[in-house]
Amino acid sequence: MDGNLEISLDKLPVKRLDAIEENGLERYPPESSYDEKRVSLIRRIDFAWAVEDDEERERKKKQKKSSKDAGATWQWQSMVENLQLAHQELSVIIDLINTVEANDAVTVAGMTRPKALPNEVLSDLAVSAATKLQCYRHLGKYFKQSAKALEQQIAREARFYGALIRLQQNWKVKRQRVAAPASSNDGFTIDLFDNSLYDSTAMSRPSFLSTIRVEHHSAGMLAINLPPNSCRFIHFGFVGVHSADTPKESSKIRTHGSVEHPTRDMEKESMNDDECVKETHSLLREVHQSIFDDQVFEMVNREAFNQSVGVNVTGIRENYLQLSIGQGTSLFISLVPSMGDDQSVDTVNAQNLEPAIVPLNSFDDIKLGEGKHDTPKNKWGFPNRISCEIYLQQIVHEHAFVKAKDRPNLSGTRVSGQSGKDGCGLLGHFCLSLAHRIFSNRVLMELENVVCRVPYLHLMTHPTWHSRTSSWTIFMKVPQSILHVESQSPKSDFQNVKDAIKSQFRTKVVVNDDRINVEGEGAPNVVGLFKRSSEDICSVNKYDCDLADLPVIILQQVASQVIRWLHEEALMVGIKTNRDFLCLTFELEQGDTVSLVAHVDPEDIQGCISWWLVMEDGFAEDWKLQMDMYDGASEYRKFLGHLSLDVLYTTLMDLVSLCGGGGNH
């Protein structure tokens, strides 16, 4: 402050007249309020001296600075000053904002945004545009991803439905409305239950395999998952006969969808869709067959305890049934899973079965023991195990399934056989057929033994196309040499025709179930004795016999046919002979007779029919006494041996000449 002090004096606070108007009205200056008086007082203070001082100080400072920095100018100086100024302004603004925020007695009158510079505007625009572009690019990626995912889904669905359509062409596909649509299983099932059964009330128990779920596997393709060993198949066999073939080589070994599931998934991914569908078809077919085999076994079980003819249950276990069909033969029917390991277990169990058999019929057990001694022989006579299996399945199928619909004349085939019309049921028919087959094999063996040892016999088989009937014919043929001889002799054509008919004799053997019926020509019949002409029907014998007696019966029949033939040959040359069953008697002079006698012995290896020449004189009693003599070298009996028909014929001619020579005497 300077030394001079200035003093100003206010005017006295007296109202002074401002103006008077013409009408005498006086105007006074308006009264100022207290605040205005204070403000005016403040204004009267002259701060010029302070302002001038400040300006001087600033000038001096600048001069000092410029004198200081004259040598080295710092390039960032202006920026530092600008930043400091900006910092001051910012601090003022911040204080102002804080004050406003604290609601102090300062109110904001108005705000104006500073006008943006053009480069700022453009840079803002560029940033916004770039952001938007980024946003769109992001959207683009999102859309592409979604499109790819949707395409993949479509492809998966196309594969799945394509395969399902192909499956639907052969199988019944059902759709279920699943409540949870997000699950991988769309609710498709394949129904394998066949409701077109003949006896639906009896076979109406659906197997747990009847409905199969169709699922997706990892690649989206359809897959069918089955628990392992869920498929079981019929296994047939004869007890005591261990077949060399593996029981499941005929079919049904493959199981898909079993334990090794994850690896099969990997394989399926690399497989073609076609192969996948084919494999699924095969799997479904296996299951279908398994269901059918279940039904077959159920039917077998049901009928086994219905006391049908020819069926005797001798052992029962879980999924196993053993039946005795007579003649010391037993068979078993079981259900086995298709895995190989279980198969070997099953055969072991079969071998161990004998102690586990419930001895319902001890006699059958004894027969079983007897049968075992002849195992090699019986084994030969047993039909093929697999063909029996197929036969059983075919019987059940034809009876149970096909009868329900109109069969298009399938019953006219030979394979169908009879369907239990004689009251024995399907299983009874099956067992009787097998028993017949085994029995007829034995019969054939006996017949072949006989025919082998007698050279002039021919055996001919006649297929009957009936499962319980077999038929053979044994021909005895006159040798051609004899026929030629006869044809050379002057005979009438009538005689030749007669001879032609008589060049062979037949013996027919028919086996029905286990009854043997032999029918043959040759033995004298009462009816035939009264017939004049021999081109009429020859006397025919028909009788039943046992297997043990069959060779003897056959040989006797054949021998009688030979005797008959010789008798007719003798008649043809005009010699009267007497014919007995196995004996041809020529009459000599003085009542003597010479007989040609046949002797049959099935055990004779050199030949089953041997011939004796027996002579007797007129005294029948002596002849009878001589019959008691067993001396083969008696003059009344001579053993001729096993003669062929040629030799017999010449023997006959010799005897004829003997008779004729005697007659001429």
Partner 1 sequence: MNKGTGVGTGPTAAAAAAAAQKQKTMMQRVETDIASIVDNFTQLVNVARVNDPPVRNSQEAFMMEMRAGRMVQAADSLLKLVSELKQTAIFSGFASLNDHVEQRTVEFNQQAEKTDRMLARIGEEAAASLKELESHYYSSAQRTADTA
- The span from the CA of 488 to the CA of 501, in Å, is 17
Pattern 45-84, partner 1, x by CB under 8 A: ----------------------------------------
Residue 126, token pair as written in the block = 């560029």
CB atoms within 10 A of CB 334: 21
- The span from the CA of 43 to the CA of 617, in Å, is 199
User: Helix/strand/coil (H, E, C) string of 217-228?
Assistant: CCCCCEEECCCC
**Helix, strand or coil for residue 316?**
strand
Pattern 353-392, partner 1, x by CB under 8 A: ----------------------------------------
Pattern 463-482, partner 1, x by CB under 8 A: x-x-------------x---
Examine residue 307 and tell whether it contacts partner 1 (CB under 8 A).
Answer: no
609-616/637-641 β-pairing? antiparallel
Residue 377, token pair as written in the block = 């022989």
Examine residue 132 and tell whether it contacts partner 1 (CB under 8 A).
Answer: yes
Pattern 136-155, partner 1, x by CB under 8 A: x--x--xx--x---x--xx-
Pattern 395-414, partner 1, x by CB under 8 A: -------------x-x--xx
What is the smallest separation between the CB atom of 432 and partner 1, expressed in angstroms?
A: 21
- The span from the CA of 298 to the CA of 304, in Å, is 10
Cβ 508 vs Cβ 472: under 8 Å: yes
Of residues 356, 116, 171, the one with CA closest to residue 282: 171
- The span from the CA of 439 to the CA of 446, in Å, is 11
Site for partner 1 in 248-287 (CB under 8 A): none
Nearer to partner 1, 251 or 461 (CB): 461
Cβ 570 vs Cβ 577: under 8 Å: yes
Nearer to partner 1, 460 or 627 (CB): 460
Burial class (CB in 10 A: 0-12, 13-18, 19+), 583: middle
What is the smallest separation between the CB atom of 27 and partner 1, expressed in angstroms?
A: 58
Of residues 11, 6, 13, the one with CA closest to residue 46: 6
Q: Which of 40, 91, 131, 344 forms a contact with partner 1 (CB under 8 A)?
A: 131
> In degrees to the nearest 10, what's the CA dihedral of 202, 203, 208, 213?
-130
What is the smallest separation between the CB atom of 111 and partner 1, expressed in angstroms?
A: 16
CA angle 294, 297, 301 (to 5 degrees): 140
Helix, strand and coil percent figures for the chain, each rounded to 5: 45, 15, 35
What is the smallest separation between the CB atom of 482 and partner 1, expressed in angstroms?
A: 11
What is the smallest separation between the CB atom of 478 and partner 1, expressed in angstroms?
A: 11
Sign of the alpha-carbon dihedral angle for 568, 570, 573, 577: negative
Nearer to partner 1, 302 or 642 (CB): 642
What is the smallest separation between the CB atom of 440 and partner 1, expressed in angstroms?
A: 15
> In degrees to the nearest 10, what's the CA dihedral of 557, 562, 568, 570?
-140
What is the smallest separation between the CB atom of 176 and partner 1, expressed in angstroms?
A: 11
Stretch that binds partner 1, among 128-136, 423-431, 512-520, 590-598 (CB under 8 A): 128-136
Stretch that binds partner 1, among 47-55, 350-358, 450-458, 538-546 (CB under 8 A): 450-458
What is the smallest separation between the CB atom of 507 and partner 1, expressed in angstroms?
A: 14
What is the smallest separation between the CB atom of 186 and partner 1, expressed in angstroms?
A: 8
- The span from the CA of 525 to the CA of 538, in Å, is 9
Q: Which of 222, 645, 656, 659 forms a contact with partner 1 (CB under 8 A)?
A: 645
> What residues pair up with 477 in beta bridges, in sequence order?
504
Examine residue 461 and tell whether it contacts partner 1 (CB under 8 A).
Answer: yes
What is the smallest separation between the CB atom of 545 and partner 1, expressed in angstroms?
A: 23
What is the smallest separation between the CB atom of 68 and partner 1, expressed in angstroms?
A: 46
Q: Which of 90, 125, 266, 629 forms a contact with partner 1 (CB under 8 A)?
A: 125
Which residue has 């009936």 as its token pair?
A: 466
The CA-based diameter of the chain, rounded to the nearest angstrom, is 224
Examine residue 640 and tell whether it contacts partner 1 (CB under 8 A).
Answer: no
What is the smallest separation between the CB atom of 643 and partner 1, expressed in angstroms?
A: 10
**Element at 153 (helix H, strand E):** helix 118-168
Stretch that binds partner 1, among 3-11, 55-63, 503-511, 640-648 (CB under 8 A): 640-648
What is the smallest separation between the CB atom of 163 and partner 1, expressed in angstroms?
A: 11
Q: What are φ and ψ of residue 547, in 5° steps? A: -65, -40
Q: Around 537, how many Cα atoms within 13 Å sit in the side-chain half-sphere? A: 7
- The span from the CA of 352 to the CA of 342, in Å, is 15
Pattern 154-173, partner 1, x by CB under 8 A: x--x---x--xx--xxx--x
- The span from the CA of 551 to the CA of 608, in Å, is 9
Site for partner 1 in 172-201 (CB under 8 A): 173, 175, 186
Examine residue 129 and tell whether it contacts partner 1 (CB under 8 A).
Answer: yes
What is the smallest separation between the CB atom of 182 and partner 1, expressed in angstroms?
A: 11
Q: Which of 127, 259, 537, 620 forms a contact with partner 1 (CB under 8 A)?
A: 127
**Element at 612 (helix H, strand E):** strand 609-616
Q: How many residues bind partner 1 (CB under 8 A)?
A: 43
**Helix, strand or coil for residue 352?**
coil
Q: Which of 552, 615, 646, 653 forms a contact with partner 1 (CB under 8 A)?
A: 646
Cβ 645 vs Cβ 482: under 8 Å: yes
Residues within the interface to partner 1 (CB under 8 A): 124-125, 127-129, 131-132, 135-136, 139, 142-143, 146, 150, 153-154, 157, 161, 164-165, 168-170, 173, 175, 186, 408, 410, 413-415, 455-456, 458-461, 463, 465, 479, 644-646
